Amino acid sequence: MLQPPHSSLQVAAVPAQRVPVRDRDHDAPWHTEAVCRRDEAGLFFAPSKEPTAARLSREEAAKRVCARCPVMVECREHALLQPEPYGVWGGLTAAERRVVLARRRRRELELKKARAAGRIAAAG
Ligand code: SF4
């Protein structure tokens, strides 16, 4: 498992609004540009026995950090492909990632059935 970019994240001031995402250096590994590289606020992973209201608040704060991260797409795909079972990655909670993965699996199955039935051309 890749070390989460936000394993020691710094979130001094989390803006309430979206901040325009700048272009990123595509030659560097995506996690080197993670906004959350120093998670000093501990926003991205749940502490043990976290009450629901606190979890929801923490996750929303983490998502606000993700919203201004230049590598959000790469991070999200990484977390979906692994799959990463815990924490907020790419602006999605673990539960939200499970929903995305279930939708992808369902769509893949539908496409496979459609190809088998000759309704669409096989992928090349
Ligand atoms: S999208 Fe979020 S979790 Fe992923 S690297 Fe950026 S700030 Fe961290």
Give the residue, 32 or 25, on which the prediction is more confident: 32
Q: Report the Cα 3 to chain-centroid distance in Å.
A: 14
Ligand 1 mean position to 72 CA, how many Å?
6
Residue 23, pLDDT score: 63
Q: Check whether 15 has a pLDDT greater than 90.
A: no
Residue 35, pLDDT score: 94
Distance, CA of 52 to CA of 116 (rounded, Å):
45
Residue 26, pLDDT score: 72
Binding positions are 36, 66, 69, 75
Residue 121, pLDDT score: 80
28-46 pLDDT, tens digit per residue, is 799 999 999 877 778 999 9
Ligand 1 mean position to 37 CA, how many Å?
8
Q: Model-level pTM?
A: 0.77
